Amino acid sequence: MLSSHPLPTLPLSTPVPWISRTGKIRALVIGLVLISASILFWALTRTTVVNLADEAQLDASGLLQRWAEGGVIVMVRHAERCDSSPGRCLDDSTGITVAGSQAAQHVGEGLQQLGLGGADVLSSPKLRTRQTAHFLIGATVASENWLEDCDRGFAEQALDRKRSGHNLVLVTHSGCIDHFERDFQVDPADRRAAYASALFVSLDDHGHARILGRLNEPDWRRVLATTRR
């Protein structure tokens, strides 16, 4: 007589605890490797803007040689603006301060020492940039709207305006300089254009651009004094 009790069934597979733990460890290791690779790739593709006030970094940048060859674009942020600073206004409240005009003069003296013969100089049409440009060069310069717009096409237009063998001086805004630096993968910590600071970019005859570094207004005289030694 057959038993009414059902026959026991065996599980299709018996989990082995150590295999499960090994798989988790392997997945964790792979995940960590992928994260590390992503961080390394991000770090390698970032551009660091060096401080050209450091004599060694100035020499390593090749700025003086490239400037002599007429292969440089320099983007100068306008000097201290009157409407957001406690200093005395130069005249119009939408322009720069008296201290800002003096800072622009200092930068202009530095540019003159580098040499402005044959250089093209353009300014944003805003009063604060036109005033800054005037104190840089000692004369009124042409203005173009794209130097005020600060849109995503800024970097392309800056490179397009550069003539072979002629340095290009652009007096513009922090937002425009920031767009340029973003396009060149500058580390966010380095995207800080102070008043009257200058960002130098080298452009070769093949259209390849390279950021050489930044020089802040207080450092011009000291740095250029070392180049005369």
pLDDT digits 0-9 by tens, 116-137: 999 999 999 999 999 999 999 9
Checking if the pLDDT of 15 tops 90, the result is: no
**Contact between residue 81 and residue 129 where contact means Cβ atoms under 8 Å apart:** no
Integer CA distances (angstroms), 2 to 5, 6, 7, in order? 9, 10, 11
**Between 4 and 146, residue with greater pLDDT:** 146
Give every CB contact of residue 27 below 8 A, 6+ residues apart in sequence.
none
What average pLDDT does range 31-46 have in this prediction? 51
pTM for the structure as a whole: 0.79
Q: Does domain 55-227 have CATH number 3.40.50.1240?
A: yes
- Given this model, what pLDDT does residue 40 score? 43
Cα(13)–Cα(27) distance, integer angstroms: 22
pLDDT digits (tens, 9 = 90+) for 51-104: 999 999 999 999 999 999 999 999 999 999 999 888 899 989 999 999 999 999
Cα-Cα-Cα-Cα torsion 217, 43, 64, 153, nearest 10 degrees, comes to -70
Which tokens sit at 219? 């450092």
Domain boundaries, the chain: 18-47, 55-227
- Given this model, what pLDDT does residue 14 score? 52
